Amino acid sequence: MPNIVVLVKQVPDTYSERKLREDDFTMDRESSDVVLDEINENAVEAALQIKEKHGGKVTVATIGPEGAIDALRKALSMGADDAVILSDDAIAGSDAVQTGWALSSVLDTIEGTDLIVAGNASTDGGTGAVPAILGVYRGLPVLSNLRSVEVDGSSISGERETEDGIYQVKANLPAIISVTEKANSPRFASFKGIMAAKKKPVAKLTLDDVAAEAEQVGAENAATAVTAVAPKPEKTAGEIITDDGNGAAKVVEYLKAQKFI
C-alpha cells in the first residue's frame, strides 16, 4: 500500500494573458488568473489510480504564495487525502535547483513516502528538471516522461516517451516519477468531492518549519536568472512548398527536420 506525494503547482491560466514583472522578471500573478497546472491533474490522477488498485494515501504538496492553497483544494476535490504548502516570501524567484531543494525539505516532513509523482514540465517555467533534481537530493531513482504507470509490489514501471522513441523503464520503490498528458484522462471533481475538499487538512509550513534556509532559496541566491524578456513573435504564414513534381518528398523532408516523423 504505497503512500504517494504528488507535487503540484499553481500557474497562470494558459487562456489568460501571461506576463513577467518588469523589475525582477518573476511571474506577475496580478496580470492573469491562476489555476492548478493541467499536467498536475494527470499526476494526481496517476496517484489516485494507484491508490484505488493498491490502497495507501495520496498527499499533494506545493510551494508558493498562500493563494496556492486553491490549487491544492482542486487536487483534494479530485480525491487526494490531504495537502501541504510551503509558503514564505523568501522563496520567491527560486530557480529549479532551489525549488528542488525546498521540495525535498517539505518531503522530510511527510512520513513514509513510497512514491513521488509530478508532471513532466510546468506550463509556466517548463524546465522539466525538478523531478530529476529532487532525485539527486533524495537519492532516489527517477522515471521521467511516463505515458503509462504500473505498480507491482515493491516496484514501479511504465513507458517512457521521448523524441528518440519509447522505452520500458522500471525502478524499485521508493522512487520519483513524472507523467505526461498521455498517461491518463484526469477525472472531474464531483460536487461531493468539492465539498469534501473544504474539510480536508492542509498543513501550512514556512522556512522555519523545514530544513531549507533563506540563504539557499530566492531570486538573490539563485544560480540562474532572467535578465530580459521579449514578446512572443507573431505567427507567420509558415513555409509554402511548391509541388513541382517532388512536393511529397519536400513535405517529408520538412517533417523530418521538425522531428514530426
Residue 202: beta bridge partners? 83
What pLDDT is attached to residue 156? 97
pLDDT at residue 25 in the model: 72
Phi, psi of 198 (to 5 degrees): -65, -25
Which pTM was predicted?
Answer: 0.85
Cβ contact 109:98 at 8 Å? no
β-pair partners for 6: 60, 117
Using alpha carbons only, what angle is made at residue 71 by residues 69 and 76, rounded to the nearest 5 degrees?
90
pLDDT for 51: 97
The three grid cell numbers given for residue 241, joined into one nine-digit string = 512548398
pLDDT at residue number 166: 95
DSSP symbol at 252 = H
| pLDDT tens column, 131-147 | 999 999 999 999 999 99
Q: Which residues of the chain have pLDDT under 70?
A: 1, 18, 29, 31
How does 223-239 read in b/e, with b if 16+ C-beta sit within 10 Å? eeeeeeeeeeeeeeeee
Q: Exposure pattern of 59-75 as b/e (b: 16+ CB <10 Å)?
A: bbbbbbeeebbebbbbb
Looking at residue 21, its pLDDT comes to 74
pLDDT value, residue 115: 97
Give the distance from CA 259 to its chain's centroid.
Answer: 25
